[in-house]
Chain A
């Protein structure tokens, strides 16, 4: 458990550090010729997709690097699932850091009712639709003015004077930061348009986290560390495609083979006979339940 968590946080730290360095270099570059944080975001490929298909051109501020990253993310998600959000995305790392701050300061978290949580998750697709429409209609990187990732890591707030557009962007970032303090991965759960895309693509992943109904003791220990609250303990048999691939649930599960990374999975359809043999003995189940209740 700790090894997986440490490796994940180290990976997040490295990619987060890289993006901050890129943002500083871009701001300090005399001709602005170094890569901006816009150019290093795979979501740019989604934003320019409609324009690229219709005209063969890309919207302004989108470069081939966005297409390379977008394609890599698509291939990676199809092959091994979405681990980008959990391990690589710098904005996800910031939200994990905010959750850590909340836990350290003993600030209570907010748990939304299940129905409201499920409804709010559609917000990602609403944000996605709005961005796709305006990106195509204006032929520019319309969302960059509001994107909390660009606002934070683009460092315009540090290197440039205040402007109306910047205040709006900072306001949005403030709401997201405040939300992420009280709700783990607030942006990822309810608003991230790239997360919305990946939750659709993730349904077709060849590797998915699978819960063995025969082995699972329903102890729900795996639900507690999940940053996006998808309740792996209720998976039938594959966990939700909203999974960000952090692997905290798999590493937490005390029962061998109850929660595993399973492959190959075709279109999210469980293969008959692919269910691992039950491994939890009665004594094991009772000890897990006793541990939970004490």
Chain B
């Protein structure tokens, strides 16, 4: 049986976009493994990742930002909205483990 030349491309696009639509509705369209913090949500030190910011860690752990910075031994004027993995560019001796340890002690 002859089929229109448009069937394959149109059906392919519909199937692809339809699947994304269905997955979005069912909550299965997840494109990132990064769980967003909720205010005051408990965060264990092991949850501290390089992509997180100091603000995000403090918020997630339910501790004060200034308190976290002081406990981690970081300068008071440190950028708090920069991913932790990028802080090394301005603070060569910085290690993410310092923040993890600080969260551990403060939690």
Contacts of A79 in B (CB 8 A): 11, 15
By a CB distance below 8 angstroms, the chain A residues around B53 are: 30-31
- B5–A4 contact, CB under 8 A? yes
Assess the B2–A33 pair: CB atoms within 8 A: no
Q: Who on chain B is nearest to A38 by CB?
A: B31
- CB-based contact B29/A262 at 8 Å: no
Is residue B12 contacting chain A, with contact meaning CB distance below 8 A? yes
Binds A, one of B32-40, B61-69, B70-78, B94-102: B32-40
Q: Kindly state whether residue A285 has any CB partner on chain B within 8 Å.
A: no
Q: Which residues of chain B are within 8 angstroms of A88 by Cβ–Cβ distance? A: 12-13, 16
Task: Please determine whether A247 and B31 come into contact, CB atoms closer than 8 angstroms.
Answer: no
Are A263 and B5 in contact, with the CB atoms below 8 A?
no
State the CA gap A252–B44 with chains docked (Å).
63
Q: Which residues of A contact B19 (CB under 8 A)?
A: 68-69, 71-72, 75
Selected from A31, A65, A207, A245, the residue in CB contact (under 8 A) with B56 is: A31
Are the CB atoms of A33 and B34 closer together than 8 Å? yes
How many residue-residue contacts, CB under 8 A, span A and B?
118
Q: How large is the interface on B (under 10, 10 to 19, 20 to 34, 35 or more residues)?
A: 20 to 34
A7 to B52, CA, bound (A): 43
B12 touching A39 by the CB < 8 A rule? no
Looking across the interface, which residue of chain B has its beta carbon closest to that of A42? Answer: B16
Rounded to whole Å, the gap between the CB of A58 and the closest CB of chain B is: 9
Asked if B93 is at the interface of the complex by the 8 Å CB criterion, the answer is no
Q: Does B88 contact A (CB under 8 A)?
A: no
Distance of A251 Cα from B33 Cα, bound (Å): 44
Given contacts A33-B32, A35-B31, A207-B3, contact A81 B81 (CB under 8 A): no
**A264 partner residues in chain B, CB cutoff 8 A:** 1
Residues A68 and B29 in contact, CB atoms below 8 Å apart: yes
Provide a sorted-by-A list of 8 A–B residue pairs whose CB atoms are within 8 angstroms. Answer: A30-B53, A69-B19, A75-B19, A76-B12, A86-B9, A88-B12, A245-B12, A261-B8
The 8 closest A-B pairs by CB, nearest first: A35-B31, A72-B19, A83-B12, A39-B31, A76-B15, A261-B3, A64-B30, A80-B8
User: B residues within 8 Å of A by Cβ?
Assistant: 1-9, 11-13, 15-16, 18-20, 23, 28-34, 36, 51-53, 56, 81, 83
